[in-house]
């Protein structure tokens, strides 16, 4: 369905003093730079739009208009401009997508690993060539800065490149078990698989699953985030151009009903989920109880421990970048700083560094952080900041009342630094905004105790110049990804994602060697 030229948009207007709804013509809220990017995207790509037309499903190699009766607005978080809408995919459309994937599996699973390797090599070339379009879509729909959008793509590209190792990483095993008899074990694909993505990395997360699922011979149903589907749709078109046969990748849009359909469909053998705790636990429980293999990467609270012997400038710069970059909407954001001993005195320097960060629209030059994803997300973050005040925390830097010239309706929050205690809500809940919670500890042992008691285990970092201190920390801290003087210690894709505790469910991690296990099953044969 095509949208009328004027569309009614619900815009939440809270403390910043804006109204509760507005009617505006498509694109009227965008400045000339953003508007030209939006027009270029809509003209060049078949599956999605940034000028108010509907985003399509991608089924059996075709971009198809949904017959849905329920639609979700995709809105520029800097201006509240309607960019596109995604359908709540109908049951019939979902069934068509699974049928297309099941049929395509019959032939794709029998292609040689070299054919599949050539596809991912071609895909990586096309993604590089079209990175500017992908980045424009990410900035428009997600709000992150242009350099950060390119980082989103690059980190996904690294997984595409890793997938090209398939011929080595799919090697099986063979041994002569008795005279005249060998046993060999092959890793064979599962069948139809599915991937459910969050809003914060619109290119990277689809690129965690698309290359890994397909290079291993599976077919895939992808459900992108309903907030920013554009990058996934561009990637789908690039997959087709790279030679991926129709039906191997299918994209359906929607929210909980579509997710539940994925969890329940008997033809879907495995689900790869990245997102928040509530959805992640639900999908893990529902998917596994239906006999599916599920990997679920969820929320986080990542601590940076600052020792008094740290290189102060390095630590402060690294922490401000990792706490406030991407407006704190990274599952590996450093959202807690633990100042140990005399490092206590560095809090004012941390606040000064945070104050210098520039908050603006993502296309604007020198922007350090853009808006958060939605008015609802903004309201939630503001509530968590207010809760710190109510619970006795001290706000050293308050970004709540920020107004960004030219972007008065955006979901902006300035960098915020809160001195808090471990029993406060702002420490115990994932904030997912540009808010750094600062705690104090007398010793490193106290800091480790605090981190180990936290329910999450995605990442942590220590800043110190002592090898012995770093080694002790690395040994004793119970977190899956650890940086020593590195703020965001995400391993490159030859390793697997290794967040632990409540940050992940399922035994097989994303990419690395684990992904080849996740997306395959073993077949043991013993010919004489
Ligand atoms: P989200 O959980 O709201 O949405 C993720 C996906 O789940 C979306 O496709 C959405 O449509 C679907 N969904 C949402 N609620 C659902 C429900 N109740 N039932 C079924 N499906 C549901 O997450 P988000 O806000 O898009 O992303 C932010 C979260 O993702 C943060 O918690 C962040 O830490 C996490 N994240 C984790 C990693 C990681 O690797 N650990 C990486 C990126 C993001």
- The pLDDT tens digits for 215-250 are 999 999 999 999 999 999 999 999 999 999 999 999
Quick check: CB of 197 below 6 Å from ligand 1?
Answer: yes
Catalytic residue ranges: 331
Q: What's the gap in Å between 277 CA and the centre of ligand 1?
A: 7
Q: Are residues 125 and 167 in the same domain?
A: yes
Q: What's the gap in Å between 225 CA and the centre of ligand 1?
A: 8
Quick check: CB of 263 below 6 Å from ligand 1?
Answer: no
Give the mean pLDDT of 372-376. Answer: 98
Q: What's the gap in Å between 110 CA and the centre of ligand 1?
A: 34
pLDDT surpassing 90 at residue 20: no
Q: What's the gap in Å between 30 CA and the centre of ligand 1?
A: 27
Q: Are residues 217 and 344 in the same domain?
A: no
Six token digits for residue 8 = 């009614």
Angle between helices 204-215 and 230-241 in degrees, nearest 10: 30
- Number of Cβ within 10 Å of residue 507's Cβ equals 10
Give the mean pLDDT of 54-78. Answer: 98
Q: Are residues 165 and 232 in the same domain?
A: yes
Q: Are residues 328 and 383 in the same domain?
A: yes
pLDDT tens column, 343-367:
999 999 999 999 999 999 999 999 9
pLDDT tens column, 141-194:
999 999 999 999 999 999 999 999 999 999 999 999 999 999 999 999 999 999
Q: Is residue 288 part of a domain?
A: yes
Which pLDDT value is given to residue 5? 31
Q: Is residue 12 part of a domain?
A: no
Residue 64, phi then psi, degrees to nearest 5: -120, 140
Q: What's the rounded Cα separation, in Å, for the pair 207 and 436?
A: 29
248-274 burial code (b ≥16 CB/10 A, e <16): bbbbbbbbeebbebbbebeebbbbbbb
Q: Are residues 265 and 406 in the same domain?
A: no
| Three-class DSSP category at 328 | helix
Q: Is residue 106 part of a domain?
A: yes
Pair 236, 208: CB distance under 8 Å: no
Which pLDDT value is given to residue 314? 97
Nearest to 248 by CA among 268, 229, 221: 221
pLDDT tens column, 393-426:
999 999 999 999 999 999 999 999 999 999 999 9
Quick check: CB of 89 below 6 Å from ligand 1?
Answer: no
Q: Are residues 307 and 290 in the same domain?
A: no
Q: First and final CA of the chain: distance in angstroms?
A: 61
pLDDT tens column, 304-317:
999 999 999 999 99
Quick check: CB of 286 below 6 Å from ligand 1?
Answer: no
* Pairing mode, strands 334-340 and 435-441: parallel
10 Å CB burial of residue 244 (0-12, 13-18, 19+) is buried
Q: Is residue 495 part of a domain?
A: no
Q: What's the rounded Cα separation, in Å, for the pair 493 and 163?
A: 9
Q: Is residue 78 part of a domain?
A: yes
pLDDT tens column, 187-214:
999 999 999 999 999 999 999 999 999 9
pLDDT surpassing 60 at residue 17: no
Q: Are residues 345 and 365 in the same domain?
A: yes
Domain count, the chain: 2
Q: Are residues 205 and 121 in the same domain?
A: yes
Q: Is residue 256 part of a domain?
A: yes
Q: Are residues 257 and 270 in the same domain?
A: yes
Nearest to 463 by CA among 305, 351, 303, 302: 305
pLDDT surpassing 60 at residue 4: no
Q: Is residue 24 part of a domain?
A: no
Quick check: CB of 278 below 6 Å from ligand 1?
Answer: yes
DSSP label of 465: S
CATH code of the domain in which 293 resides: 3.40.605.10
Which pLDDT value is given to residue 26? 64
Q: Are residues 271 and 327 in the same domain?
A: no
Q: What's the rounded Cα separation, in Å, for the pair 60 and 463?
A: 50
Quick check: CB of 297 below 6 Å from ligand 1?
Answer: yes
**Residues in contact with 309: Cβ distance below 8 Å, sequence separation at least 6, in sequence order:** 464, 465, 466, 469
Pair 475, 495: CB distance under 8 Å: no
Q: Is residue 496 part of a domain?
A: no
Confidence of residue 25 (pLDDT cuts 50, 70, 90): low
Q: What's the gap in Å between 199 CA and the centre of ligand 1?
A: 7
- Helix (H) or strand (E) run with residue 482 in it: strand 482-484
- Helix (H) or strand (E) run with residue 178 in it: strand 173-178
Q: Are residues 311 and 357 in the same domain?
A: yes
Nearest 5°: the CA angle 217, 222, 278 is 120
Six token digits for residue 464 = 């110190």
CATH code of the domain in which 455 resides: 3.40.309.10
Which pLDDT value is given to residue 28? 80
Name the more confident of 426 and 2: 426
Quick check: CB of 237 below 6 Å from ligand 1?
Answer: no
- pTM comes to 0.95
Nearest CA to ligand 1 atom 14: 279
* Pairing mode, strands 268-274 and 249-251: unpaired
- Domain carrying residue 349: 302-484
Confidence of residue 318 (pLDDT cuts 50, 70, 90): very high
Q: Which atom of ligand 1 is nearest to the CA of 223?
A: 9
Q: Are residues 473 and 396 in the same domain?
A: yes
Q: Kindly state the percentage of the chain with pLDDT values over 90.
A: 94
Nearest to 234 by CA among 54, 45, 410: 45
Confidence of residue 10 (pLDDT cuts 50, 70, 90): very low
Q: Kindly state the percentage of the chain with pLDDT values over 70.
A: 95
């Amino acid at each position: 369905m095509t949208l009328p030229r004027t569309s009614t948009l619900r815009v939440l207007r809270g403390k910043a003093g804006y109204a509760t709804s507005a009617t505006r013509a498509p694109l009227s809220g965008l400045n000339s730079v953003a508007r030209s990017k939006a027009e270029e995207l809509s003209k060049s790509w078949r599956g999605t739009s940034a000028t108010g037309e509907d985003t399509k499903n991608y089924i059996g190699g075709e971009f198809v208009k949904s017959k849905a009766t329920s639609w979700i607005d995709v809105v520029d978080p800097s201006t509240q401009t309607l960019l596109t809408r995604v359908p709540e995919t109908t049951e019939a459309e979902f069934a068509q997508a699974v049928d297309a994937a099941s049929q395509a599996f019959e032939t794709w699973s029998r292609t040689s690993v070299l054919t599949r390797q050539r596809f991912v090599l071609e895909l990586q070339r096309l993604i590089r060539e079209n990175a500017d379009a992908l980045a424009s879509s990410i900035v428009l729909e997600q709000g992150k800065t242009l350099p950060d959008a390119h980082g989103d793509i690059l980190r996904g590209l690294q997984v595409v490149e890793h997938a090209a190792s398939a011929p080595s990483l799919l090697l099986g095993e063979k041994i002569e078990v008795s005279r005249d008899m060998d046993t060999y074990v092959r890793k064979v694909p599962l069948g139809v698989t599915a991937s459910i993505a969050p809003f914060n990395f619109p290119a990277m997360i689809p690129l965690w699953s698309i290359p890994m699922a397909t290079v291993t011979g599976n077919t895939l149903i992808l459900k992108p985030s309903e907030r920013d589907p554009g990058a996934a749709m561009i990637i789908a078109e690039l997959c087709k151009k790279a030679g991926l046969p129709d039906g191997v990748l299918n994209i359906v849009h929607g929210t909980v009903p579509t997710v539940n359909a994925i969890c329940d469909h008997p033809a879907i053998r495995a689900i790869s989920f990245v997102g928040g705790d509530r959805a992640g636990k639900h999908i893990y429980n529902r998917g596994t109880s239906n006999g599916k293999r599920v990997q679920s990467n969820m929320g986080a609270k990542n601590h940076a421990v600052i020792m008094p012997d740290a290189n102060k400038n390095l630590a402060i710069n690294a922490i401000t970048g990792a706490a406030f970059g991407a407006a704190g909407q990274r599952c590996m954001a450093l959202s807690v700083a633990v100042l140990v001993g005399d490092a206590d005195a560095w809090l004012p320097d941390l606040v000064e560094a945070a104050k210098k960060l520039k908050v603006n629209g993502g296309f604007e030059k020198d922007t350090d952080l853009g808006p958060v994803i939605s008015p609802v997300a903004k309201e939630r973050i503001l509530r968590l900041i207010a809760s710190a005040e109510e619970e006795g925390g001290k706000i050293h830097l308050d970004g709540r009342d920020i107004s960004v010239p030219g972007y008065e309706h955006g979901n902006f929050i300035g960098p915020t630094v809160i001195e808090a205690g471990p029993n406060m809500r702002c420490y115990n809940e994932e904030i997912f905004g540009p808010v750094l919670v600062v705690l104090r500890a007398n010793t490193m042992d106290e800091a480790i105790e605090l981190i180990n008691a936290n329910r999450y285990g995605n990442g942590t970092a220590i800043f110190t110049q002592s090898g012995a201190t770093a080694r002790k920390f690395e040994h004793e801290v119970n977190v899956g990804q650890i940086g020593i003087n590195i703020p965001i210690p995400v391993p490159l894709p030859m390793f697997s994602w290794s967040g632990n505790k409540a940050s992940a469910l399922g035994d097989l991690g994303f990419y690395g060697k684990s992904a080849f296990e996740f997306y395959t099953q073993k077949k043991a044969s013993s010919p004489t």
